[in-house]
Structure 1
Amino acid sequence: MAFNQEQHITTTGTAPEASINPPALDGEAQQIEVYGAREHNLKNINLKLPRYKLVVFTGISGSGKSSLAFDTIYAEGQRRYMETFSAYARSFMGGLERPDVDKIEGLSPVISIEQKTTSRNPRSTVGTITEIYDFMRLLWARTSDAYSYVSGDKMVRQSDDQIVNHILENFDGKRIVVLAPVVKGRKGHYRELFQQIRKMGFIRARVDGELVEIAPKMQVDRYKIHDIEIVIDKIVVKEEDRYRLSSSIQNALTHGKGTVLILDVDTDKTHFFSRHLMDPATGIAYDDPAPNSFSFNSPYGACPVCNGLGEIQEITEESVIPDKDLSIRRGGIAPLGEYRDIWVFKQIEALFKHFKASVATPIKDLPEDLVKVLLYGLEEELEVKTKKGDYIIEFEGIIHFLKNQMESESDNIRSWVEDFTQTTTCPECNGYRLKKESLHFKIDGKNIGELSVLDINKLYAWFENLEERLSERQNIIARELLKEIRKRIGFLLDVGLDYLSLHRPVRTLSGGESQRIRLATQIGTQLVGVLYIMDEPSIGLHQRDNERLINALKDLRDLGNSIIVVEHDKDMILQADYVVDIGPGAGIHGGQVVTAGTPEEMTKAGTTTADFLSNRRGIEVPRVKRPGTGQLLKLIGATGHNLKNVTLELPLGKMICVTGVSGSGKSSLIHDTLYPILNTHFFRAKREPLPYKSIEGLEHIDKVIEVDQSPIGRTPRSNPATYTGVFTEIRSLFAQLPEAKIRGYSPGRFSFNVKGGRCEACEGAGMRTIEMNFLPDVYVPCEVCRGKRYNRETLEVRYKGKSITDVLDMTVESAVEFFENQPRILRKIKTLNEVGLGYITLGQQATTLSGGEAQRVKLATELSKKDTGQTLYILDEPTTGLHFQDIEHLTDVLHKLTDKGNTVLIIEHNLDLIKVADHVIDIGPEGGEAGGTIVASGTPEEVVKAAKGYTARFLKEELQSSHYRENGADGTPQQEG
């Protein structure tokens, strides 16, 4: 949904009173009142928030916004809800601890919508979590028409009377045999079946097209495929024999489970009739459709080849023989490695001897038929005659061998085989996930799979006037279903997700996308009187799409709900009804309400946030851009997903921003095409890039590093100190202390992950897990070390009066001062401080870091390394979760990284970062199928001048209100003053 430049929100104020729902009822609380909030770094906060308003919490990263919104208000709301359950019900769910707050009054039922991806399950899709696909399954089950997957003809179903009438009309005077099919295309000896048929009183059957009498101990070849039908009756068709014919047909339909075969004796042709859906030409019958017939999570609907996943793991020739210049002796077969004296190589040698070839010959020079045998095995045994005697060669082939190993019970073996597999679209269902019968039920010529892969815009257009294309009967059934489907698709459009498809797996969505899907689902529930708390729903949204998101939040508010949004987006803050700025700093320097009021009141305040919002302060734009190295990295012909034969030119030695509306193809081009190519080239990674033609200029860079927002560790044992490697240096320092040397302590003594210096009661975790049987496990500080992780002897070794535990509990900011005389340690800690993480502790659990914080830890780790100046860094939305002041810090860090001669490539929507880039590449113009092309490229000013695409429009406004800084003679940015 596009909107004019005039519609872009640049000024603010509260929304008109008329747009906000009516006042609360008499006696109902008008405010949410928080007293004495002390969770994490909050400093005894007292705060009153208006109900039925859109309230934004803002402030620099680590100031305490999430502590107040999620860990205090939401946690208390959730706890109160749990207390409404019976003691018996609570015993299964476990209790929730009361947050550290004196009291909260006026609290409504609370729903939290966070950035976490809803599900990692490959079976969970946009369609399933929004329930749109569930309504579509019901629609297809009730109104679709079935077509034969063989002839393409429309399937028919007939009643018993229709079948009899048809036979009387078309077979009048002919001799026919009425047959009941009981076995179709299956192996087996069927001895018991024949005995059962005889007991029912039938003496003849047709077996594989031949009429036979059933002998007492009759059976057939168990290894062959058979068709078996019971001979119900032999009759000459006449009107006066209608009763006999009707009885025989009903008998046949009963034994044939709704299907009857009529054999024309004179022509020896069979004709199929069925109570179910059937193709009369081929005899193919479908079960009556039900909603689960169209579910890829049900055995009734899932494709039998891929089990409803839409893709299969395939072992490819390229993965088994990656380099055909190598010989087998030198490791040409990747799974086997170099030649060793083992059985499989002896088999290969014998095989090569028979084909008169050598294992020392490069694979590219071997005969094609020999390579085929090597990969896929011998069709039959080879008998080899030698002077020493005859022997047999049986060779199953490397690919068949690996496929067999995929079924191994050993995790290690399966993991080893996965290195040689590639994920490909299922050839049976073409990625639609459903069995072929389900894909041949159609409405207006479309099956449910074809619609699932359409983007939401096209899907909405297809459903818009569907009634006009349906029959009267279909219209009556579909009317209510279509209303529900259109309404839910409309909600997805409202939150800017028009480029997604229902088929899209949820695990591939960004945090912002999954959060907006849940927001769309909540709007659809039409709940009233609820408090919604959201965590940066604008993440991943282009400025063009922000307007739709803000309107969606206002719609949710106008239904009669209260909304709290933790947000840094300027438009969102200015469009809010009420803003709470928390700070003034991060960590121990934050945790206070700096200002609270309407956006107009807030911008007049003298706070850091107000200065940025009112343009009194801004991120300076360098007047002169970096010249770069003059070299290019050129990716030619990228066609993955929605990319339309894109040629990407990256000028090296510059800071480059890749922009574009959501779903335009940025991630497809950079994350899914360029990065896997470079990663495979430099580090022999296995991940396959999306399709492309060629790449040029690899010789101009020496490595690629992707700094993403994935966690730095998935267990509480991981922390910034261990991830950056500074903990190794700290442990070495402690091991060099006189006290440690006297005691003979090595650096390992100061590790909480190995035996020796750690507390063995909690194994260095600092916490003990108490199993509570029916209740969830409880974590309590270890009673031996009291959460310190180490034993008493280790803690007696001190540096400047601090033990190893004291160091882990230090904030990064304190550690910079503490280790000022330790250059090896200081270099790494200082970079953590420079990227704005001074407020986190060195030993903070990785599981408590946000995606943006994890990304900055990684960035700091890379900055602290000594580099060659020819590295390509790829960052995906590094401004996520960052306040304007933090973005200012981040910009300086990225400038430093680029000034060393590196190339920094950033996928970004934030205009503050885009405007300071040396080079901008805008992809679009729209999302989904309407995107996938490079709309404009050049300096930010050149992109604005080109006036193509949506980015240019918003970037122009940003540059007009920007602060500029002068540059040095070499073009590198120099800070004013």
Structure 2
Amino acid sequence: MPQKQGIRIVGARVHNLKDVTLTLPESKITVFVGVSGSGKSSIVFDTVAVESQRQLNASYSWFIRNQLPKYERPQADAIEGLTTAVIVDQQPIGGNSRSTVGTITDVAPVLRALFARHAEPTTGLVSSYSFNDPRGMCPECEGMGRTVQPDVERMLDKSKSLNGGAILLPTYKVGTPDWQILAGDSRLDADKVLRKYTKDEWHTLLHGTGGKVEVKTKNATIKINYEGLVDKFVRLNLKRDTSTLSEKTRDAIQQFMSEGLCPLCHGARLSQETLNSRIDGRNIAEMSGLSIDELVPVLAKLDSPIAETARTALERISGMGLGYLTLDRPTVTLSGGEGQRLKMVRHLGSTLTHLTYIFDEPSVGLHPRDVGRLNELLRGLRDKGNTVLVVEHDPDVIDIADHVVEVGPEAGVHGGEIVFEGTVAALAKAATRTATALAERGAVKKTFRKAGGQLSITDADLHNLKNVSVDIPTGVLTAVTGVAGSGKTSLISGVFAAQHPTATFVDQGPITASSRSNPATYLELMDGIRKLFAKASGQPEALFSFNSKGACEECQGRGVIITEIAFMDPVTTHCETCHGRRFKESVLEHQLRGKSIADVLELPVSEAVGFFTEKALKPKLQGLVDVGLGYLTLGQPLSTLSGGERQRIKLATQLHKTSSVYVLDEPTTGLHMSDVGTLMALLNRIVDDGNTVVVIEHNLDVVRQADWVIDLGPDGGAGGGEVVFTGTPKQLLANKKSVTGEYLRKYVG
């Protein structure tokens, strides 16, 4: 039997890679490790994945290829042994208000087919069971389940009469024509306090019709048809194109409206005809509102191959520990860990073999308990005969690798080399950053800062939270923990953010990255830098921008020439006119302290801190150094940075804000184990400066170093939403009810 060759890469030079040559074994799990920015993603995604997709697209006809994304051939001497790549990246699921667990997992279409075939009475049309189709959506809310409605409590002061100014709408001030229509109606007593109105008077005031009212203006007296306050507000503001209104008017209207359940479908999103269609006593909205674990036995009772298909898909989701979710749950409300597992579960039912599955940090957002389920998935894909490539920092994922590749030794220009290849056992004996970090397991803190006060969260009931009330201590570092779906994000990013709006939040949202954006533009340093050059040279500021007058005319400030021809893959070449520096030669003649604008953009941040002494620039540059990104150059395109580097750039933008409370959502995302120490030093410095820091985090290396822990659970979804534990990490070690405590005990040994 011929030996399996695997994927062979020869002389890869993408981004910071330095003529990398390696072979990735076939039908094995290969985990890529190394510090953030070392070049892992450049190998796995920008070389292997891109070339696989490029060659696969080349197998289609020209007509189809023209409809597909175009990929440029990666810079490498050879890439051999490729198979079709299935890519599971770490981008959040996102979606909009119409995207649900049912739609993202493709179970919703199966459920619609089930109702079209077997419901009583059935409409016979699959589309009529969809809230995204005009034939099925509720006509009142157009399938959203919620509507914007006038808020009477905001419109009226019930302690006053109409003559006393009870109507708070700006166009209804006492004496105005709008006010006269209501106050002049014979059915209403304008001197009577509103809270004493009878039921009939309330109806007349809000929804009344009929009769004419005399209204006096400056020039005349006219008679106008009576129209209730709410009915007129709806007609003028909700049943018309509000884009014709000025922004000031729209803002004024907004304060008198609130969002609530649709009064017609009560949140079900569907038309009344569709909701009257039932299977086993339930309509499709009621079935979608059951948890997945509840829905599986309901479908098992039905004698239908369609029901069997839906049940099988749901069992896969439940097997990933997500049985508490409902199919109608909006995807925008999912935690990072839930989103990651839903993306992966799509591939569980595939019977295709000899594929290459590529995962980008699949453990992001997962509690240590949930990583075990992830590992089962990775092994299952491998055992079907597939090659699995994983970019990862989590020790538990690294531990299941058949083959490990470490890229480094450092990040950026100091990385891009293969520093280790081999088994996990061999890695433990190597002298690399990852091997050293794996060997180091610290203990929990012995001394803890004392709180100076507290920030209270009261009666939190968002999503699965069960009227949670908890205090966050001030002046200390607090870690909020719990399994995926336990309610951490709902509690902190949802309720705490609403109750304490002055806090500074650094979330998991991706930053916009393009070939024209760089650290200097993202940190809003370029305006200040251009002003300095303009002042020193007497030239206009626009001359020192590669997006404006200073741009090289040949490459339009890109530094490269991108040739795109129909039916051809794009080709990128170095601009020979500006030599990749992006500016006209005449611009580079103007200097600041002996350096041109191009020289400045080529400075590493660690050197730029010393070059720029200006107060408007130095603190922001120091922020990049503080988060461990001193090796980046000011002009390096953000599109070339790793996910971990982008997350830290976002953190750097928040460090020097005038805030006393910082909230970070999983700040270790994309960080190598050895970089966690740098992050902790930064967080401790922020706290020592008199601030409060709250981190939503799974990383046990962070949890053990916190002053206070708030653990949610005990499980996810309906099984969570409660505070399981509050106290120090030392006290958490002794707690037998906390899942986090169980894994922390294992971590510290």
- TM-score computed with the length of structure 1 as normaliser: 0.68
Q: Secondary structure of the residue that 2:325 maps to in structure 1?
A: coil
1:861 Cα offset (Å): 2.1
Contact 1:374 1:398 in 2 (8 A): no
1:841 corresponds to which residue? 633
- 1:386-429 per-position Cα deviation (integer Å, ceiling 9, x unaligned): 99753235677445432144454679699758955544332322
Contact 1:712 1:719 in 2 (8 A): no
Contact 2:166 2:194 in 1 (8 A): no
Partner of residue 647 from structure 2, selected from 855, 858, 871: 855
Whether 2:442 is the aligned partner of 1:611: answer no
1:169 corresponds to which residue? none
Q: Which amino acid aligns with 1:859?
A: L
Whether 2:697 is the aligned partner of 1:908: answer yes
Bigger drift between 667-676 and 388-397 goes to 388-397
1:623 corresponds to which residue? 446
Q: Secondary structure of the residue that 1:441 maps to in structure 2?
A: coil
Contact 1:112 1:532 in 2 (8 A): yes
Whether 2:474 is the aligned partner of 1:652: answer yes
- 1:701-723 per-position Cα deviation (integer Å, ceiling 9, x unaligned): xx311111324446655433233
Whether 2:745 is the aligned partner of 1:922: answer no
CA distance in 1, matches of 2:574, 2:335: 35
CA distance in 2, matches of 1:322, 1:942: 51
CA distance in 2, matches of 1:328, 1:98: 76
1:619 Cα offset (Å): 5.5
Q: Which amino acid aligns with 2:653?
A: T
Bigger drift between 368-377 and 939-948 goes to 368-377
CA distance in 1, matches of 2:706, 2:284: 44
Whether 2:177 is the aligned partner of 1:347: answer yes
Partner of residue 83 from structure 2, selected from 108, 113, 118: 108
CA distance in 2, matches of 1:512, 1:74: 23
CA distance in 2, matches of 1:330, 1:725: 48
- 1:586-608 per-position Cα deviation (integer Å, ceiling 9, x unaligned): 10111111111111111111112
Partner of residue 895 from structure 1, selected from 679, 684, 688: 684
1:315 Cα offset (Å): 4.3
2:267 corresponds to which residue? 431
2:144 corresponds to which residue? 309
1:391 corresponds to which residue? 222
1:124 Cα offset (Å): 3.0
Whether 2:24 is the aligned partner of 1:49: answer yes
1:827 corresponds to which residue? 619
Identical-pair percentage: 41
CA distance in 1, matches of 2:485, 2:473: 24
CA distance in 2, matches of 1:890, 1:292: 51
Change (3 A) 1:905 1:118: closer
CA distance in 1, matches of 2:492, 2:221: 58
1:99 corresponds to which residue? 74
Q: Secondary structure of the residue that 1:429 maps to in structure 2?
A: coil
Change (3 A) 1:663 1:510: closer
Q: Which amino acid aligns with 1:623?
A: K
CA distance in 2, matches of 1:643, 1:666: 9
Q: Secondary structure of the residue that 1:875 maps to in structure 2?
A: strand
Bigger drift between 882-891 and 347-356 goes to 347-356
Whether 2:76 is the aligned partner of 1:135: answer no
Contact 1:116 1:514 in 2 (8 A): no
2:101 corresponds to which residue? 126
1:728 Cα offset (Å): 3.4
Looking at CA atoms only, which structure, 1 or 2, has the larger radius of gyration? 1
1:96 Cα offset (Å): 2.2
Change (3 A) 1:36 1:329: farther
Q: Which amino acid aligns with 2:87?
A: S
1:751 Cα offset (Å): 4.5
1:520 Cα offset (Å): 1.2
1:522 Cα offset (Å): 1.1
Q: Secondary structure of the residue that 1:632 maps to in structure 2?
A: strand
- 1:353-406 per-position Cα deviation (integer Å, ceiling 9, x unaligned): 8599xxxx9x99999999999987976542146997532356774454321444
Whether 2:497 is the aligned partner of 1:675: answer yes
Contact 1:709 1:854 in 2 (8 A): no
- 1:796-852 per-position Cα deviation (integer Å, ceiling 9, x unaligned): 222244322332343323433544x55653332122022122343323444555554
1:170 corresponds to which residue? none
Change (3 A) 1:662 1:94: closer
Q: Which amino acid aligns with 2:435?
A: A
Whether 2:522 is the aligned partner of 1:723: answer yes
Q: Which amino acid aligns with 1:456?
A: I
Partner of residue 734 from structure 2, selected from 945, 970, 974: 945
Contact 2:159 2:166 in 1 (8 A): no
1:644 Cα offset (Å): 0.9
Contact 1:658 1:921 in 2 (8 A): yes
1:683 corresponds to which residue? none
Q: 1:109-258 to 2 correspondence within 5 Å?
A: 109-118=84-93, 120-146=95-121
Change (3 A) 1:637 1:877: same
Q: Secondary structure of the residue that 2:272 maps to in structure 1?
A: coil
1:162 corresponds to which residue? none
Q: Which amino acid aligns with 1:655?
A: L
Partner of residue 527 from structure 1, selected from 343, 352, 357: 352
Whether 2:597 is the aligned partner of 1:799: answer no
Unaligned runs of 5+ in 2: none
CA distance in 2, matches of 1:667, 1:322: 36
Change (3 A) 1:908 1:499: farther
CA distance in 2, matches of 1:921, 1:783: 58
Contact 2:130 2:137 in 1 (8 A): yes
Contact 2:35 2:410 in 1 (8 A): yes
- 1:192-228 per-position Cα deviation (integer Å, ceiling 9, x unaligned): xxxxxxxxxxxxxxxxxxxxxxxxxxxxxxxxxxxxx
1:558 corresponds to which residue? 383
1:576 Cα offset (Å): 1.4
Bigger drift between 392-401 and 538-547 goes to 392-401
Contact 1:712 1:846 in 2 (8 A): no
Q: Which amino acid aligns with 1:141?
A: A
Unaligned runs of 5+ in 1: 1-25, 147-286, 680-702, 962-977
Contact 2:407 2:415 in 1 (8 A): yes
CA distance in 2, matches of 1:120, 1:386: 51
Aligned residues: 737
Change (3 A) 1:378 1:890: farther
CA distance in 1, matches of 2:159, 2:580: 57
CA distance in 1, matches of 2:211, 2:636: 62
CA distance in 1, matches of 2:655, 2:197: 51
CA distance in 1, matches of 2:492, 2:353: 42
CA distance in 2, matches of 1:762, 1:291: 52
CA distance in 1, matches of 2:638, 2:327: 33
CA distance in 1, matches of 2:92, 2:163: 45
1:319 Cα offset (Å): 6.6
Bigger drift between 635-644 and 401-410 goes to 401-410
2:533 corresponds to which residue? 734
Partner of residue 331 from structure 2, selected from 506, 523, 536: 506
2:508 corresponds to which residue? 709
Change (3 A) 1:645 1:580: same
1:783 Cα offset (Å): 8.6
Change (3 A) 1:330 1:876: farther
Change (3 A) 1:312 1:387: closer
1:558 Cα offset (Å): 0.6
1:880 Cα offset (Å): 0.8
Contact 2:296 2:314 in 1 (8 A): yes
1:291 corresponds to which residue? 126
1:77 corresponds to which residue? 52
- 1:280-306 per-position Cα deviation (integer Å, ceiling 9, x unaligned): xxxxxxx64333232223333222222
Contact 2:213 2:224 in 1 (8 A): yes
Q: Which amino acid aligns with 1:733?
A: L
Change (3 A) 1:374 1:593: farther
Q: Which amino acid aligns with 1:729?
A: G
Change (3 A) 1:956 1:126: same
Q: Which amino acid aligns with 1:797?
A: H
Whether 2:361 is the aligned partner of 1:539: answer no
Contact 1:376 1:398 in 2 (8 A): no
Q: Which amino acid aligns with 1:827?
A: P
CA distance in 1, matches of 2:76, 2:562: 26
CA distance in 2, matches of 1:335, 1:882: 53
CA distance in 2, matches of 1:841, 1:381: 73
